[in-house]
Structure 1
Amino acid sequence: MSTLWKEFSKGLWRDLPPFRLVLGLCPVLAVTKTADNGLGMGLAVIFVLTLSNVFVSLLRNIIPSKVRIACFIVIAASLVVCVELLMQAFAYPLYQQLGIFVPLIVVNCIILGRAEAFASKNTVLMSTADGLGLGIGFALSLTFLGALRETFGYGTLFGKSVMWSGFEPFTFMIEAPGAFVCLGLVLAAMNALTNWQRGVKGLEAVEGPKHDCKACGMCNTPLK
């Protein structure tokens, strides 16, 4: 049970996808004009990531290694089609808002990265915990960033006014440059908090994200 919790909880902070692993930034920057959009995309990613991990883990001994990436994409694409149909049936306005970024979940590097680095090498329970934890972390990140941009860019939160009557919306926040600025500020704040925590423990500060998810192997690769 402790191992399952470790695999689940890592995606909530230590390996938080957009802010720690710095993966899946395309939807993070493109769909987070509002908290609703961020939450909707996050829920879609939870569904696809968790179930793709489950199916990859179930089929890992059957899928030939030479075509494993193609098989992973087929699994993800099938799940994305399910998401699209569900959104068209029950949340069509949200589906229209998210647009092309819903089908692009198929090639989201988080989906393929976890299938290759984790689900293809671990049991169904472990893969489920991994996918669910990272998916929830991704959804919370998108919702937080969307709420931040919506609050200052529109003066609303989930469509409800939260600012004073004379508030002038800071429209820069809902434009493309605003997305990069918000992302950079959040990354800087998280790195500062991490270094403060390391300082409290007597550890040396690090210049960037530090994790051991083994999603790409770059953290242990020496610079040349």
Structure 2
Amino acid sequence: MSTRYRDITVNGLWKNNPGLVQLLGLCPLLGTSNSAVNALGLGLATVLVLTCSNAAVSLIRGAVTPAVRLPAFVMIIAALTTCIELLMQAFTYELYQILGIFIPLITTNCVILGRAEAFAAKNNVARAAYDGLVMGVGFALVLLAIGLVRELFGTGAVFANMQLLFGPLAANWQITLMEDYQGFLLAILPPGAFIVLGLLIALKNRIDEQLAERAKAREPVAAPAPSRRVRVTGVIE
């Protein structure tokens, strides 16, 4: 992998993560992350739309004028979102009903439109598609992390109802970590999403600080320049 693709990967997953750094797409991020299956369902849909829209925008970047560029991007994203919506209606109808309005709202997700304008419109198809994939995966991972934490503290189990996304084979994927758990209502309510997201952002910032301190400690210390003594001789009259 070239340095350029490595930079795209690091930016999408860590340094410029949409959910933890850019703080884009917070409406679906907080609204659907009360369980792992909901978070993963919306995360995968966002990954598909973001990857395909970046590739499509890169393909037409030289054929549209600046006056119609933004409407063209929105039309591409809307068309792809409609395709994902129809696929979910056909294969994951119950999950589609649970996610509700958040699926069509992918069209107005700032992450997707922002990457189309900032990256896809300025790079070739391969890099644009890869950027969309990595940014989407970074966003989906944050969604999944919030969903797992909220589901665990809210119900005492994780990966419940995964059959809604992966079919009957996933019916037994639920992992119960706390037996006879009464539940913590705040975790699955909207304020719980804000609290968990804030903790994740704080954790990332702390990790970045520690990495910066370690990098600074590994830097070689420059030896001090040898001092020079200058003898001044002269006659004072």
Q: What is the TM-score normalised by the length of structure 2?
A: 0.83
Please state how far the C-alpha of 1:161 moved relative to its aligned partner.
4.5
Where in structure 2 are the equivalents of 1:56-67 lying within 5 Å? 56-67=57-68
Deviation sequence 1:136-162 (CA, Å, 0-9, x none): 111111111101100101112111252
Partner of 1:133: 134
Partner of 1:43: 44
Task: Name the aligned partner's letter for residue 63 of structure 1.
Answer: V
Q: Distance in 1 between matches of 2:181 and 2:214?
A: 40
In our comparison, the structure showing a higher alpha carbon Rg is 2
Displacement, 1:28?
0.7
Partner in structure 1 of residue 171 of structure 2: none
Q: Deviations over 1:11-39 (max 9, x none)?
A: 11121110121111111100000000110
Q: 1:217 corresponds to which residue?
A: none
- TM superposition outliers: structure 1 runs of 4+ over 6 Å: none
Supply the distance in 2 between the matched residues of 1:105 and 1:197 (Cα, whole angstroms). Answer: 34
Question: What pairs up with 1:74-113 in 2 under 5 angstroms?
Answer: 74-113=75-114
Q: Which one is further off, 80-89 or 11-20? A: 11-20
Q: 1:104-123 alignment to 2 at 5 Å?
A: 104-123=105-124
Greater length-normalized contact order (CA 8 Å, ≥ 6 residues apart): 1
1:144 equivalent to 2:158? Answer no
Verify the 8 A CA contact 1:4 1:125 in the aligned structure 2.
no
Is there any run of 5+ residues in structure 2 with no aligned partner, and where? 161-173, 218-237
Identity %: 46
CA contact (8 A) 1:8 1:132 kept: no
Contact 2:18 2:139 in 1 (8 A): yes
Correspondence for 2:197: 183
Cα distance in 2 between the residues matched to 1:6 and 1:112: 21
Q: Name the Cα RMSD after superposition.
A: 1.2
Runs of 5+ unmatched residues, structure 1: 204-224
Partner residue of 2:21?
Answer: 20
Does the CA-based 8 Å contact 1:5-1:129 persist in structure 2? no
